[in-house]
Structures are given as C-alpha cells and as structure tokens.
Amino acid sequence: MALIGTIRKQSGLLIIIIGVALAAFVLGDFLKPRSGRDIQPLAEVLGEDISYQQFDAKYEQNLESQKRNQNKDNLSQDEIFRLKQQTWDQIIQKIVLDNEYDQLGLVVSADELFDQIQGNEPHSYILQYFKDPETQQYDPELVRNYIKQLDQMDAASRIQWDNFVEAIKEDREKTKYKNLISKGYFMPDTFLYRDFSEKKISAKIMLVGARYNTIDDSLVTVTDDDLKKYYNDYKQNYKQEASRDIDYVIFDVKPSAKDRKTIREQAFDIYEDFKTTESVHMFVNTESDNRYDSTFFKSGELPINIDSVMLNSEIGAFVDPFMENNAWHMAKLMDIQFRPDSMKATHILISFAGAMMAGEDMTRTKDEASALADSLLNVVKSSPYRIEALAKELSDDPSAAENSGDLGWFADGTMVYPFNNAVLTNNIGNVTIAESMFGFHVIKITDKFEPVKKVRVAIIDINISPSQETFQDEFTRASEFQAKANSLDAFDTLSTNLGLNKRSAPRLQKMGNRIAGLDYARGIIGWTFREGIEIGSVSDVITMESKYVVAIITAIHEEGIPAMDEIRDAMEPLVSKELKGDIMIQRMNELSDGSSDLIQIAATLNSKVDTVDNVNFQLRNISGYGNEANVLAKVFAMEPNILSKPIKGNNAAFFVIVDEVTQPGENEDYKIYKRQLLSNFTAKVNNNSFTKTLEEKAGVVDNRYLYY
C-alpha cells in the first residue's frame, strides 16, 4: 500500500476526565500490592522462577509488534488479554523445550543457522519476506543486501532483525524436536492388523429398546449408599480445576434528571455562542465532545436531522440543538462545493531529512528535495508517460517499486490535505507539485468521478453523561450496600429490597476473562482467588468505567476430585437412572419369558423393532435413544441370530439380535491404513500436541492471578 495512503486525514478525540480523585479513591485498594505478590514470582517452571518483569518485557515486545502489524495505536481489553496469554505460552514453552533440547543435545549450529538464512534452501520465513516485488519469487540477493546494510540501520531495525533470526533458530530447533518424536512412532504389525480389523468390521443388528423415562420417579429412591457407590465408581470423571462461584450486583452510573437538565441548559448556552463565534474551528474543538471535521459530505452521509437542512441551505445556516442517541447536537454550514467522490493519481515522492517517514539514512536537504522535485515536474510535464518509470527509479515512497507510483482510486478527503487538494483542483491529465509532511510530490492526475454537491459542516456534539456528583452518589449507594451485605443471606435480601438485579457467575477460573455484563472481569476474578477469601467474603466496591460492582463468594471449588456432597445434585439424576435401569432389566427378564420373537417382545414392552446398519467400533449413538456406546460395543461379542439377554444402556435397556457381521476382506491392503495412522500422529506432533504433556511434567506454578 502506498506510503501516502497510509496517512489518512485524522480526527482526534477530545477526552474529558471526570472524577479523577474519586477514581483514585475507589481504585486505591486494588492498586496496593496484593498478598503474596511481593514475594511470589509470576510463575515457576522446572524450579526456575519467572519474574513479572521478565514477562512484562516480552509482553511489551509482542504488544508493539501486534500494534505495528495491525496498524493500531491501542488494543481492546480482550485483545490485550489474549496477547498476554500468548506471551505466557511463549515463555513457558521456551523454558520447557529448551530443557528438552539440553537433555537431548539438540542444537542449531552457526553453520546450520547461516544455511537457514543464506543457503540454497533457506527457512520459510526468509522465503516469505525476501521476495522480488515484481516476480514475487524469493531473491537471495535481497537477503545479502539487507544484511550488508544492517550496520547503517537504526537500533530498532537491528533489534528487529536479531529477533527475526532468533525466531528462525527457535523454529528450526522445534522442527528437529518434532522430527525426533515423529520418527519414534511405531506400531507392530500384529497390533496394526487388529486395530485395522476392529475398525473395518461391521454388523447389522435388530433391537428393541425400553426407555427408562417410562418408569415413574416414585418407584426409585436414591440412598446415600447408592450415591457412595456411584461416587467411588465414577469420581474420576468429576476431576476439576480450581474455580469460584460468585453473585454480584452492578450499579450503573447514569445521568440523573438534574444532569440532563443542566446539560440541556449548557447546550443552548453553547448554541448562542456558536452563532456569534468568529473562530468556528477552535470553538467546536473547545465545546464539542468530537473534534472539528473538515470533511465534505454528500447527500445521505450526514445525520438525518442535519443532512437535508445543510444540503438545501446557504452557507452560514444553522441547525438548532436537538437530542439524539443520548447527546445534544447542533450544526453550522461552513462551505458548499462540487467535488468528485473518488480520484486517481500517480506520484513521485521526493523526501528530505526530517520529513515524516524519512529514514535515518536520508541526507537530502529540503532545498535539494525542492530543486529535484521542480526538475522532475518539468520532465513529466514535457513527457507525462515517463512518470511511472521515474517513480520506480527515484520515488521515496516504498510502494513505488511495486506500483510505479500509481496510487489507484482513493476517496476524496482521505489523502493528506496538500496532496488531496492538488488532485482535486487540477484537471485530468495535468501534472502539478504539492508539498506535504512527507516531502514534495510530483503528481499526475489520471482520473476523477463526476463532481457532486458536497457540504462542509461544523457539528457540535455534547454527550449527556453523569456528573461527578452523580458518580459520587452512586458510589455512596454501592458502598452502603457493600457494608450491609456482609453475608450470603444479607446479600440476597438487600439486593431484593433495593430492586437490584443480582447476577451469578459460576465456575470462575483463575485466568478467566469473562463475566456477563462486565467489559473486563479480571479485577473481580483475581480478587476471588486472593489468600483469605472464603465463602461469604464480600468484595470492595470495584470501579469499571461507568459502573460499580460488588461481589460475594458463594462457593469455592478446589482443584482435584470434589467431595461427594459437592456433586451430590449432579449425581442424583444419574444414580436414579442407574436404578431405573436395574428395574427395567428385571421387567424385561420377566416379560420376555424366554421368547426370541422381537416383534412379540416389542409389543409386550410397548416399543418397536429397530434396525441399525453398519454398526462398528466408532458408532456411539442409536437413533432415538442417544449415546449407547456400551450397548453397541457388546454386539461383536454376540453370536449371530441369537437373542441377547437384556442389556443395560445409558437411556434404555435393549434386547439385541445380530443379523449379520461383515469382516474385512482377506486381501484388503492395510498398508494405506498404516500410512494414515502415521500421518495422523505426525499431524498431532506438528500441531504441538506434546507441549501440554511437557508443561504438566514441568510442574508449572501459575501465579498470574496475583498480577493481572
């Protein structure tokens, strides 16, 4: 993309900070060092401490890189959280993998690294970034030239190159390690053929099912002994990570009636001054919540209450104050012009030392740049067709090497003003010169849309926002609630009495990031895991932009297998279903009475005969019954054409007859299957599936919740 196209016309934001002292007071407790924070590292891996400073340095490096890649000045809270998670993964994995490399003696030698950068078959990163702009093919000369120029580059560029080389080295090490794992894969032919056969064998079955939900709940009584037996048999299935349950209430800070009345009066006072001010631009930037915008708009591009008035009035016309979208608005018509929507131009940029985006190695003075630009202007005026060749040879816009200075179509007003105005005010085919913050532009106007009527409008927006007094009142209300809601019962009662919407957030984990209704939940989640926090603990009043939050701990779930009472409610319906299964098996044994006629059995059980084709070891569900893998797995141990005894399933009990079993063909080639297994294993390795196991083995201690 053209350099000139990267700098668009900017509109800043006027930021009004309300209640700084109040925010400092509210946040004070959360900005104090937390318990254990001063003495505990951010993490511990293989006995090695990782300080927050180490983590933060890497995070800042990643942050700047992501801002640069996404062309952003700031990231959202969610993006920041994800980036911190990525940084954490990078640091942990590097320590764990470096330990593996050391134990294996796995290294990337200097010669090997040189070969990865400048060899005949370089690393994929080199192939990606050093391409000829015309052919898009890798050009080794570009690498050599870049390395030769490193000494003349600025410090940031040299650091960037060092990081690039380090990334190549790390990727090469990881590739070697993955190859070692992949080459270690082996399955003996006996096991291979057995696995192949089990996956290829299939059966056709007929069955009659009797659902457990046909048994009345009153016939089943779940005892403590039943629960204990189920718990001992299946407790491993309930293994959990540490988590917390909370209830919380939100105090939204909204403009009061007094605030709205005051802001309305202010808006009309501002309007009176607006009508008489001589410096409209400065007045808008002083009084409006959005800065003055000098853009020209055509019909349909302005707010509906402003658009038709401005497009059908004379310069100097006003739009009286009106309220919309929780703000007051007013406008003045500043100018009317007939302008094209889009324009097209080719340019040569002649930069100079000190100009924006000029490299540190730029030595040309402004006077020298001006003289060169004037000379090129004369050449292009006499031979307009030469501009593209000259742009490719002489332009300081990096994109000229690819586009020969042709900027393509661009919308009116999106280029830097001197450039935009030069193209706007000249005819198609004209050659002109313009000076901008980037240097001197020799410009050939190549095309334009037909001009349409456009207007420049000065708009003042005054947001209806809470006053500092309203913030203080709501904080006082939240503080009074926090002081009185000092137990679970008190929290519930007070929430109801005050008409507050009490919400619940179950199973919050240490490094979670989401709570419904809150933009950024890390402050609350971190608090729930602090030392000394227990069931019934109430948070301080937590500030979140235009709201205050008070939370209470309702449950604490420790890491590991929970106690039986903690999961009693989850187990009871499952145990009840197990007991219903026992009752159903007994009924089926009595009702079948030795019969082998499925149709007769189905009629007796008020059910029907179902046929299931292509039953195999991968099949899990029976249509109409859900997951019945346990029943289907028994099919291949049954004799064909013999009625089974009742089989207890997850949701029903079944009589089954195996109608037909199809074995894999004797001559079927299982070598393809062998290659597929190897390919699947290699794919898992390439997707870094081994890293989680290595991290578990490394005994990672994660204290991030103490820091963010």
Does residue 605 share a domain with residue 553? no
Does residue 617 share a domain with residue 547? no
CATH at 359: 3.10.50.40
Per-residue confidence at 38, pLDDT binned at 50, 70, 90? low
User: Across-strand partners of 505?
Assistant: 246
Tokens standing for 188? Answer: 């003996």
pLDDT for residue 607 is more than 60:
yes
Instruction: Give residue-wise pLDDT tens across range 634-679.
Output: 998 899 999 999 999 999 999 999 999 888 876 667 778 888 888 8
In this prediction, residue 336 carries a pLDDT of: 96
Asked whether residue 71 is domain-assigned, the answer is: no
Which one of 560, 579, 594 terminates a domain? 560
Per-residue confidence at 154, pLDDT binned at 50, 70, 90? confident
Q: Which of 562, 26, 466, 541 is nearest to 245 (CA)?
A: 562
Per-residue confidence at 348, pLDDT binned at 50, 70, 90? very high
Q: What percent of the chain has pLDDT over 90?
A: 68
Asked whether residue 120 is domain-assigned, the answer is: yes
- Specify the pTM: 0.68
Tokens standing for 332? Answer: 């003045």
Does residue 403 share a domain with residue 388? yes
Does residue 589 share a domain with residue 609? yes
Instruction: Give residue-wise pLDDT tens across range 498-545.
Output: 999 999 999 999 999 999 989 889 989 999 999 999 999 999 999 988
Asked whether residue 48 is domain-assigned, the answer is: no
Mean pLDDT of 85-94: 93
Does residue 473 share a domain with residue 547? yes
Does residue 497 share a domain with residue 428? no
Q: Which of 662, 655, 659, 599 is nearest to 631 (CA)?
A: 655
Mean pLDDT of 601-611: 90
At 283, which amino acid appears? F
Q: What percent of the chain has pLDDT over 70?
A: 94
Does residue 368 share a domain with residue 318? no
Does residue 618 share a domain with residue 572? yes
Does residue 426 share a domain with residue 415? yes
- 546 in helix, strand or coil? coil
In this prediction, residue 614 carries a pLDDT of: 87
293 touches 460 (CB < 8 A): no
Asked whether residue 265 is domain-assigned, the answer is: yes
Does residue 535 share a domain with residue 584? no
In total, how many domains does the chain have?
Answer: 5
Tokens standing for 364? Answer: 């040309």
Q: Which of 319, 294, 292 is nearest to 304 (CA)?
A: 319
177 touches 685 (CB < 8 A): no
Instruction: Give residue-wise pLDDT tens across range 276-287.
Output: 999 999 999 999
Asked whether residue 699 is domain-assigned, the answer is: no
In this prediction, residue 80 carries a pLDDT of: 92
pLDDT for residue 395 is more than 60:
yes
Distance between CA atoms of residues 422 and 407, nearest Å:
14
Domain of 207? 202-239+566-662
Tokens standing for 178? Answer: 């993955």
In this prediction, residue 194 carries a pLDDT of: 82
What are φ and ψ of residue 660, in 5° steps?
Answer: -160, 140
Mean pLDDT of 429-437: 95
Q: Which one has a higher pLDDT value, 21 or 128?
A: 128
Taking the CB of residue 601, how many other CB atoms lie within 10 A of it? 21
Q: Which of 692, 581, 640, 705 is nearest to 226 (CA)?
A: 581
pLDDT for residue 31 is more than 60:
no
Q: What is the mean pLDDT of the chain?
A: 88
Does residue 377 share a domain with residue 327? no
344 touches 409 (CB < 8 A): yes
Task: Give DSSP secondary structure letters for 233-254.
Answer: HHGGGG-B--EEEEEEEEEE--
Which one of 560, 585, 619 terminates a domain? 560
CATH at 483: 3.10.50
Taking the CB of residue 13, how many other CB atoms lie within 10 A of it? 8
Asked whether residue 4 is domain-assigned, the answer is: no
- 176 in helix, strand or coil? helix
Per-residue confidence at 27, pLDDT binned at 50, 70, 90? very low
Asked whether residue 350 is domain-assigned, the answer is: yes
- 328 in helix, strand or coil? strand
Does residue 176 share a domain with residue 140? yes
Asked whether residue 99 is domain-assigned, the answer is: no
Instruction: Give residue-wise pLDDT tens across range 239-271.
Output: 999 999 999 999 999 999 999 999 999 999 999
In this prediction, residue 1 carries a pLDDT of: 30
Instruction: Give residue-wise pLDDT tens across range 443-486.
Output: 999 999 999 999 999 999 999 999 999 999 999 999 999 999 99
Tokens standing for 163? Answer: 């990081």
In this prediction, residue 23 carries a pLDDT of: 37
Which one of 560, 578, 604 terminates a domain? 560
